[in-house]
Amino acid sequence: MAGRRVTKSAVNWAAMLERVHPKQQGNFIAFKAKSDVYLRRVLANPESLPKIDWAFYKKTVPVAGMADAFQKQYESMKIPYPPDTATALVEAQEKQVMEEVKKFVQDSNARITDFQKELDHINSLLPIDQMTMEDYKDSYPELALDSEKRPTFWPHTPEEQPGMEKRDETAGH
């Protein structure tokens, strides 16, 4: 990637904007504007060093060999382009994240299947407003009153049930 000239953005800004929260879209648009300004500034500069008419300078410069020395130095000049050390890290991170996303999607699909089964079961029952107490007990045995296994007495608070100690109302006064 070193030495390659960037001529246009590789970012799909429209797809990215769709994923930005509506409250953050102003910040995103400002960021895109800064990116566009930077890209225009880069593109305003020439891709390579400007060509110099050395023959003209060799004829007009009175010091012998000076234009030749400048030409040699100019043509041997290499502007260093920073090495790309981040792409491999980003690609590795992207691969890891994509695996996590794939696992999350699989887990979510499994949960959706379970929830759909539960929803189908609930939809197969009578509506609660049409149920009798017996229907409710058959449909929701863990929630229904069971006077044989779990009897409760009015006012049906835990403190009023058999086997519970009464709180001392005067304690702490």
Per-residue model confidence as pLDDT tens digits over 73-113: 988 888 787 888 888 999 999 999 999 999 999 999 999 99
Contact 131, 139 (CB under 8 A): yes
Rg (C-alpha) for the chain, rounded Å, is: 39
The mean pLDDT value of the chain amounts to: 84
Residue 171 gets the label, from left (phi > 0), alpha (psi -120 to 50) or beta, of: beta
Residue-wise pLDDT tens digits, 35-48: 899 888 888 888 77
| Residue 128: pLDDT over 90 | no
pTM: 0.42
Domain coordinates in residue numbering, the chain: 1-47, 49-83, 85-148
